[in-house]
Amino acid sequence: MSVKVLIVDDSALMRKLFTELFEKEGFIVRVARNGEEALTKAVEFEPDCITLDINMPVMDGMTCLAMLKKLYTCPIIMVSSLTQKGATITLEALALGASDFVLKTGGTVSRDISDLEIPLINKIHALTKTGKPQRPTTKTPPVVKQKVVRSNKNVPFEVVLVGVSTGGPKKLEHLVANLNPSFPVPIVISQHMPASFTCALAKRLDGLSSLNVVEVDSKMSIKPGTVYLAKGDADLAFSKAGSEVFARPVPSSPSFLWHPSVDRMVDSALTCYKPLSMLCVQLTGMGSDGVTAMSKAYKEGATTIAESEATSVVFGMPKELIEAGCASFVLDSPKVASKLNALCR
């Protein structure tokens, strides 16, 4: 069955470019020029997905989003500008219930949308579950033996590593807001996101958490009581001097498809921490970033948590870890913070 997409944008050029892109993909398309039109057409057309511009006359994207969430349920992808203001508004939209976002890298109106074509199509397929056929999620994971089995009585956790992509900001907001104020272990997060957005996200999370939340925009020492968010458009690497561990942004590697790379972060952590002291968390997201390194860490004794299908916006990254047989726990996302609090006392 063809995917039905509603394009909401005040720019005739953007509506035309998006329509051509979607129809080429085989989608059924309708358009709306502003938020007010979108409310009517969403009910009439019953789309499987909506692309929603933020800045529009008559009714802007944020007002429309709030009303759509009450009126009609389907994935909504915000179309944002690559600016600090655009990042802040987009994060507010994700908190209101938008599923994901794409960036107009050429400005508010651009004849060149080549940079967002593939990401946008992939996001629509993932959010509407019409991409590559999904493998059964009920099959029994393989039995993977850990070379070293962790005992809660011997090695304390020294670091929590979190990987997340599509749908991540809202999950991270709940996570950091529900950690104990005295949480004793540093948390390092790789959220697939551009640099202008990770800066805004770090500030937003810091305002919600009793812990300090910072963006890793330079080399910094890893300390308990702090949440470290990897800088966008780069990867995060660890280093060690004596007993002190540092994190720093490094140029994104073409060896990894998504950035900041979860696999690269976890692989790097393995050079500075004993696997038994590592707690890895794989949350919602497309693709498989993180499964290779987290599986390696798990086999060496690390503890791993994968988000359940029930609460994942896109059940890709956690699914891969579960099906590899390398998830110590499979949890609904609201239960992840309490599990971390219990494990890291």
List domains and CATH numbers for the chain: 4-128 (3.40.50.2300), 159-343 (3.40.50.180)
CA 183 – CA 197 distance, rounded (Å)? 26
- Rounded distance, CA 278 to CA 301, Å? 8
8: which strand partners?
32, 52
Question: What does the pLDDT read at residue 155?
Answer: 78
User: Is 267 in contact with 199 (CB distance < 8 Å)?
Assistant: no
- Looking at residue 151, its pLDDT comes to 58
Which pLDDT score is estimated for 212?
98
CA angle, 264 then 342 then 199, to 5°: 40
Question: CA 324, CA 290: separation in Å to the nearest integer?
Answer: 12
Positions marked active-site: 165, 192, 289
Q: Can you spell out the DSSP letters for 143-160?
A: ----SS---TTT----EE
Selection from 231, 223, 238, 249 nearest residue 158 by Cα: 223
What was the pLDDT predicted at 196? 85
- Write down the pLDDT at residue 57: 87
Which positions of the chain have pLDDT values less than 50? 131-138
Q: pTM of this prediction? A: 0.88
Inter-helix orientation angle 168-177/84-96, to 10°:
80
pLDDT at residue number 166: 93
> b/e per residue, 119-130, with b = 16+ CB within 10 A?
ebbebbbbbbeb
- pLDDT for the residue numbered 106: 59
